[in-house]
Structure formats: C-alpha cells, structure tokens
Structure 1
C-alpha cells in the first residue's frame, strides 16, 4: 500500500512538473512575441479586418488606370451651304465664302447682304509708266477695288474680313498662322473655316508688289478664298464659290502649299459650350 501511494505521488509530481514546464514554455513564447512584435496566436477576425483595411488603403493610394487615348478621326466631311460668287461678285470670293460660313452657323445673310457691310480700302489705283500698279489699297485694311466688277477689283484679307465675322459670331476666331492640323480639328468639332488659297490650287509664280497707305504689299491676282468643309488622309474638300461646286476634292499637299503661300490665312469660330 505504501509502495502504491508513493507511485501515485511520483506520477502526480511528474504531471505537475510537465504542466509547469509547458506553461512556462507558452509564457516564454508569448513574451517573446510581445517583445519582438510577432503576431502568432492573434485573433483571426482582427487579423482579417486589418488585412482588409491595408488592401483598401493600397487601392486608394494606387495610381488610377491610364485612360485609353481617343483615336483622332482620319476623315471628316461637313454638309455646308454652297453659294456661287458669279455673276454678281466676280471679285467676291472672300465675302461669298463668309456668307457660306455664316449660313452654316445659322445667320441668314446672303453674299449681297454682306457686301455693303464689308470693310473697304477706297485708295484709288495708280499705275507706273509701264502699266504695272504703283499704288493701291491694302487688303489687310479692307476690300481693294470694286467687288462687283464695275472697275478693277482685287481682294480682302483675314484681318479686315474677320471683323465682319465677329459682328455676327461672338466666338469668331482668327486662325491665321495656326498649323493646318488646327483647321482639321475645327472640322472634327463640326466647324468649317474660310481659308485663303489660289484659283488653280497651285503655288503662284506671278507675284506683284505695289505700295499702299500702310506700306508695300506683295501679292498675286491668283489669290482666292474658299470654305474648307472636309479632309481625309490624301485630300481636302472645299466649297469653291468660283468653281460653283461643293465638296470639291483637292490634293491635300498641294492645297496646304497654296494656303501657306498665301500667308496661312483662315477665319472660323468656336462652338458655344
């Protein structure tokens, strides 16, 4: 009996020692975790919530996805009014082209309505002994000569014609000297432009010079103006007041060369927002 009791005591002592060793081991592990910042034995609910918060923070600070670039249209063709300058205005390509632009905008004005409103340079013409022009008006000031053909007529340039456009369109824009891509952008936005070119769409070789009240000017009687209504990769399309044809197709490279030769003149407007 004594032997049995001693055996039980030894067994209990072993269990007690084992329990103390286990408890001290667990305590040591927890203490180490506390001191080192390890997250063993954490509440899984808390850990999951912290992971969710970290993911949300990462998503909020991440750079937004890049927007896909909008592809620029390769061709545009607008349906704009076409008006012939003949027979009333043999020298009136610019004011006739302006009438087309205004009617497209929604202003009910004919070419003949606009003629008396167009600025004019009344400087009389004087000739040299050899018959060349010595002194005359300046198209940047107003129309030079007689637009109806009753006497010699020449032209009006963007600076003077722009004032008439602005009188009817508050958002009028003088796009002179802008790159041709700007005129294409206008068409993409649904707006045509009055542009200066030449009658045969070729760069002129017959330039002439005369003196004016504001200084000499170099120009050509091949000067012409049309309404630019479209483009594609190879051609531009114009409403030509002299040719009597709408959507006239012109080689783009040749057209840009003549437009450049005539000072890259163009007037248009911005669509109201």
Structure 2
C-alpha cells in the first residue's frame, strides 16, 4: 500500500513538473515569437532605411560631384575687372590670329571673349559652329563670282590668307551655339564706343568691334553677285542663275575685328589679334573714325 502511495505521489509530482516545464516552454516560445516578429521586422526596416539613406547620399554625392565637375570646367560670369576714376581695364586673354586663323580676326576675337568668360573652346569648336560659304565662278558678262553676304556667313576660308570675313549677325549665331548658363550674344551695332564703354566695359563686359587693319583706311575691294538667302555656295555642276540674285556686294578691304577692353580719359584700348599686336591703344578720335568707317558694328555677351 505504501509503495502504491509513493508511486501515485511520484506520478503526481512528475505531472506537476511536466506542467511547469510546459508553461516555461510556452513562455519562451512566446518571447521568441515576439522577438522574431518585432526585432527582425525592425532590423529589416533598419536595413531598408540604411540602404535608402545610402542611396540618397549616393545620389546627392553623385549630383554634387557632377555639379562640382561642371563648375570646375565652366563658370560663366566669374570675372573681375578694374575700374577707377580714370577708366576701366578688362583682363581679357590675348590670342594671335597668325598662329590660329590668318583670315579669321572675327573668330579669334570671339575666342578671346569666350576665354574671358572661362569657356574652354578651341578653334575647331568655333569653326564647327560657324556658318561658312565661298565665292563660286559664274558665267556672267559683268561679274566673275557669286556668293553669300558676309552678314549671312563667313565668306572664304579663315584657315588661310585668302578669306574675306563676316559681320556681327554671323558671330552672334556662332556664339549663341556655344554660350551656356543663360548667356547670349547681342548685336550692339549702331552704338558709339563711348556708349559701349559705359554700358558694357563699366560692367566688366568686353565688346567685339569691327574696325580696320592697323587702324588705317578701308576701301572698296572685290565685288560679287549675291546668292539667294541660305545659299552659301554654288555646286560646280549647278551654276544656274536660279541660285543667284541681281544684287551685288562689295567687300571693304582692310576689314578687321578686335576686342574692346578698356578706356581712360584720352584713349580706348583693344586686344588686336593681327600680327601679334597684343593690347593696343588709340586716341578716342582715331578709334571712333575707324569704327565709323566699318559701319559702327559691334557685339557683346550678356
């Protein structure tokens, strides 16, 4: 009887131990589930947030690097100049056309202007964005050649000494294909040198002006029949009169283009690309006379 009692007592005690153990196991399982449910979720969210933040930082870093690269390569308008009671002098980089474009004073002067505004273009960039044309031999009793107007395109080849040249509308189109950051080339023809000095040089902006080689006299040179607008050259196999108008153009010999960079009480100062002249100064009277001879033609960048 005693043995049965102890046996039952042991079994009862064992059942209580098992029940307690089950409770403990259930609690542990519950805690584990809670940890898995919330801890892992938060871990995943943390990983996702970190990844998202990393992507954002990466994008910002990439964008910043791109902006920095662009800033390093190009910053129009980042210029400085000197102005006092005596006048203004703009530090415009100088280029000699003899080394670059023997007949391209307008183009080399344009390149000086672009370099002043921190553009890094080359002569090839200028040529690639320039409207160019040439004279073609024609069968006409009065004229040997027909070709475009220098108001429409550069006439001739700037790479050799046989080219003619062009005027502000052509340079304006070329430069507006190259300018960035809201800058634009403006045809300022008709303005006096004094007005250009006040409106542009005083604001740190150099100006292209058309004058004469060595500031001498201009005189009538070659005359040709003008082709129709947009016809920059006539194919050899098609010298049809349908491409030619009855209007003529006479080239002003000694045409030249320089960069207007400064002034004082008595003189105007220019970067003259011809024959490695460097920066030259002329009395306001002489400079105005040559500028007037070429029709008060000028161009600036705004």
Matches within 5 A, 1:1-273: 73-125=85-137, 134-149=145-160, 152-169=162-179, 170-185=183-198, 186-214=200-228, 215-270=247-302
Contact 1:229–1:237 under 8 Å retained in 2 = yes
C-alpha deviations, 1:170-223, integer Å up to 9, x for none?
232210112222310211111101111110212323455332115322332200
Contact 2:207–2:260 under 8 Å retained in 1 = yes
Root-mean-square deviation (CA), in Å? Answer: 2.6
Contact 2:185–2:300 under 8 Å retained in 1 = yes
Of 241-250 and 137-146, deviating more is 241-250
Inter-CA distance 127–239: structure 2 relative to 1 (3 Å threshold): farther
Report the structure number with the largest CA radius of gyration.
1
Q: Shift of the alpha carbon at 1:125? A: 4.9
Inter-CA distance 232–180: structure 2 relative to 1 (3 Å threshold): same
Q: Shift of the alpha carbon at 1:133? A: 5.6
Contact 1:125–1:136 under 8 Å retained in 2 = no
Which secondary structure state, in structure 2, belongs to the residue aligned with residue 211 of structure 1?
strand
Which secondary structure state, in structure 1, belongs to the residue aligned with residue 208 of structure 2?
strand
Q: Which runs of 5+ in 1 are unaligned?
A: 1-71
Structure with the higher fraction of residues in helix conformation: 2
Aligned length: 198
TM-score by length of 1: 0.65
Inter-CA distance 226–167: structure 2 relative to 1 (3 Å threshold): same
Contact 1:176–1:265 under 8 Å retained in 2 = yes
Which secondary structure state, in structure 2, belongs to the residue aligned with residue 177 of structure 1?
coil
1 CA distance for matches of 2:157 and 2:222? 19
C-alpha deviations, 1:11-49, integer Å up to 9, x for none?
xxxxxxxxxxxxxxxxxxxxxxxxxxxxxxxxxxxxxxx
Structure with the higher fraction of residues in strand conformation: 2
